[in-house]
Structure formats: C-alpha cells, structure tokens
Chain A
C-alpha cells in the first residue's frame, strides 16, 4: 500500500495565484496546475508520498491536500 497526495479541488486556492505545493514538491512534474479547472492536481504515479505539500498547504491554512492510500 502506498500513500500519495491528493488535492481537494474545493479548498485549492491555485486560482488566486497560490503555487506553494507545486513549488516545494521535490519531484519533477508531480504536482501540476490544471489550466482549465484552475486547481493543482497530483500525478499519482510520480508521487513518493513525502507529505511536504501537505505541510506547506496546512501551514498556509488552506488544508487542500491530504494523503490517501492506494
């Protein structure tokens, strides 16, 4: 069982210009910006589940990312 990050679309504030998770994710091309829906999304196959995005998102009080088990 692996833990991967998942973005909750309703709470994501990427449309306001927030790029915290995209910026601090250590993996390349893993958290990306959906230009149509204006939210961030996680490419699950690339995610290593390090939880860094959850930490930065919660620190900014957006609480839009959670770890899920796959």
Chain B
C-alpha cells in the first residue's frame, strides 16, 4: 500500500469521513524520518479505540505505530487480547489470527510477500499480548525463531490475561495474586528475552514504554534487523491498571517504578554480532548523510 492507494476520488471527497480525509492529507506515510516526534502535529495511524481510559497499552500502540519505518509496506499480525480491540482502528494492513497462531501466520505471510513482491521490502510485524506469545502460542513463537523467519515479534506484556478478568499467565511475576488467580503465582516469570536470545533472535529488547525515544530506537532497530538478518523480539511492559488495582492516571508511574535498576523491566538489549555490524553501518550511514546535509545547508 502506497499513499497513492488511499487517495480519495475527487467526486467522493466530501462524503468521506473527516478522519479518513485527515489520514490522506496529514498522515506520515512515506516519510523517512518518521518517529514519535510526529505525534500531535501529524495525523496518527490509530483512531479512537475502545481501550480503557489511561491504558498504558494504548500509549505503547501509539509509539509503535508512530515508529514503524515504512507503514505503507508493513503488515501487522495481531492475536486475541486487548490488542485485537485496537487493530480495527489502525491504518496499517493487519491480520487477526487465531489465539496463539500469530507467528505461524507471519512466517507464511513473510515468505509469500517475498515471492509476490520480489522488488520491494515488505515488513511483517507480530504484535500480541503475553498470553498469545508465551502461553498459548509459545510453540509457534519459538518455532519461528528456530527457523530464522525474518520478522519482528512485539509482545505487550501486561503480566496476566487482562481481557478475561485477570487469570495467571506465564509472564506473571512470582507471588502475584490476580483477581482470578487467588492462590498467587507459584513459579517465576518465564524468561522469554533470554529464551529468545538462545533461540536465534538477533535483536532482543526489554523495556517499559515510559521513554518514547527508547521505544522508537528499539522498534526501528528490530524491524531493520528483521529485514536483513533474522528474527527479532521486543517485550514492552504495558501494565493493566484495572487488574493490578491502580487508578487510571497511575499507569505511567507504575511503569517508571518497575524499570529501575534491578527491577523486572530494567532496560535490557541483546544484539547479535551480525546485527551489531549491520546497525553500526546504518548509524555511520545516517551520520554521513546528516553531515552532508549540514554541509549543503552551510553553503
């Protein structure tokens, strides 16, 4: 999908919804330097959604969509959960998979897109909750990493099954008592980032979404590495304020509290040697371009 494809026929312009008109006029498709700095000034690729007021997951969603390097050539694969409530309101191609199937579908999709559009780069991004990634879809998630499928997996980790009332999930922290897990969790949080690293992911990052520039960098790196080298994985902490008993304005503080040194979501990044060489080259290239631009401006 290019921006040309979403343009409105002149005769029908006035009967299209104003949101769609804004999308055609202001959205940042095809802009190379797009990032979270565009929010507030350009139309975002996400519309009014049905997530709760103050939900940190929707903050994460905004950043992810603002930071995709090429939204017009990206297909997102979602799965059951709170994220699937948002996908109908997103202006990026997306597929809703069966619960847990997301990485299997993305594997097939990525291979098919490579055959269908050999001259173009099409990004595939999986975006699912922790239940789909770690419990129900763990098989598909791991197999896609073992096979070195070239797409990015993003996990919105809210540490429980929020959509159905707070049952225990694999990523729930030890000892936590959920609304529908009254005995408390008996074993540790599944160390999925470490598993990802050992399963062949070339770029792994764990963080909260309290710092947008950090999220932007991680998402860009993950998608670019996935294009060229192999699977990548990002785990974002998006606490469910309802289920952990917080007020709607306390989500941000909760994220900041859990990312300090030694806490569960301290920023962690793993880059394989191959990916490191690639990212360093990209950085050098970007710096060279900036320098050339500055030199041209000075003249």
Contact = CB atoms under 8 A, between A and B. Distances in A.
Interface string A35-46: 100001000001
A26 B249 contact: no
Interface stretch (B44-52, B72-80, B226-234): B44-52
Given A51-B248, A52-B249, A52-B251, A26 B58 contact: yes
Given A33-B41, A46-B48, A27 B251 contact: no
A23 B212 contact: yes
Interface-central residue, A25, A27, A51, A55, by most chain B CB under 10 Å? A27
A8 to B, nearest CB: 17
Contact of B40 (A19, A26, A50, A51): A19
A28 interface: yes
Contact of A52 (B43, B212, B252): B252
B40 A40 contact: yes
B57 to A, nearest CB: 8
A17 B56 CA distance: 23
Contacts, number: 61
B54 interface: yes
Nearest to B45: A28
A64 interface: no
A50 B54 contact: yes
B62 interface: yes
B55 interface: yes
A40 B252 CA distance: 20
B40 A33 contact: yes
A24 B48 contact: no
Interface in A40-70: 40, 46, 48-52, 54-56
B183 interface: no
A28 B46 contact: yes
Contacts of A9: none
Contacts of A35: 41
A24 B253 CA distance: 11
B284 to A, nearest CB: 28
Given A35-B41, A48-B53, 4 more contacts: A19-B40, A23-B36, A24-B59, A24-B252
12 contacts: A19-B37, A19-B40, A22-B40, A25-B59, A26-B51, A27-B58, A28-B44, A28-B62, A40-B40, A49-B53, A50-B54, A54-B249
Closest 8 CB pairs of A and B: A50-B54, A22-B40, A48-B53, A50-B53, A51-B249, A26-B58, A28-B46, A28-B44
Interface of B: 36-37, 39-41, 43-44, 46-49, 51, 53-56, 58-59, 62, 212, 248-249, 251-253
